[in-house]
Amino acid sequence: MQPGLCSVNQFLGSQGATMNDKPAMTCTWLHRRRASVCVVFFAGWGMDARPFAPLSAGGVDVCMLSGYQKVEAPNMMQLHEYEEVVLLAWSFGVWMAAQVCTWQLRAGCSDMIALAGTLKPVDAQLGLAPEQFEAVLANFDETVLVKFYGSMFDEEAHSALFLKNRPRRELADLNRELAFLHRESLAAPVALDMFTQHIVTSRDRIFSGRNQTRSWGRENVRVLQWPHFPFYHFATWGELLAALRADV
């Protein structure tokens, strides 16, 4: 196992797993320096650790969950060593976090932040337009993927930085995850809203700001003029977390 990587069962303490079980998702410690605060980061579709390499820790530990393959509830008991645990779910990670985090897991988090995503991610009014999602899935190739990457940004420099640090995942692997998220998000009941904050990214060309706002309700959101992938607006995870919690 590569440095910084752990199975989701090792980190989150899932019960009943065997060595032959297909992991529900990939767990990667982006930063682990025994900080007092841990950010549990549910990433969006298609990610690995590479795009987040430009962000330093900024005084927090960060564990990223990505590469979703199953809707399986984790156990975060091993996070008890931290004084504070913050759950940050981004993009399709918003849906995944709401599906897999039990009430017991949620009780251990001081804050649960939804960023640039919704509880109904494949929906013309509340998420991504179904026909557009299905067109991407049906025609998925390198050209479609690069176009998607470009749509996450509103600054050329940030787009170029992402491409320099783009995920190292095979197209077939990305396609499988995309098909899984499409299938399961349509089949699963809409989860109850567990989030303490709902951040709408108004410059988003993936999940439109309008649909995000409609999903959560105008009175329940904070609107920031960010693109879908806002992480490169910050040098550290600590700075990002402070911006997300600025009004808390």
What superfamily in CATH does domain 5-244 come from?
Answer: Alpha/Beta hydrolase fold, catalytic domain (3.40.50.1820)
Structural domain boundaries in the chain: 5-244
C-alpha distances (whole Å) from 135 to each of 95, 118, 162, 186, 191 are: 21, 20, 24, 16, 26
State pTM to two decimals.
0.92
pLDDT digits (tens, 9 = 90+) for 47-97: 999 999 999 999 999 999 999 999 986 656 678 889 999 999 999 999 999
pLDDT digits (tens, 9 = 90+) for 161-220: 999 999 999 999 999 999 999 999 999 999 999 999 999 999 999 999 999 999 999 999
Map residue 226 onto helix, strand or coil: coil
At 242, which helix (H) or strand (E)? Answer: helix 237-244
Residues in the chain: 248
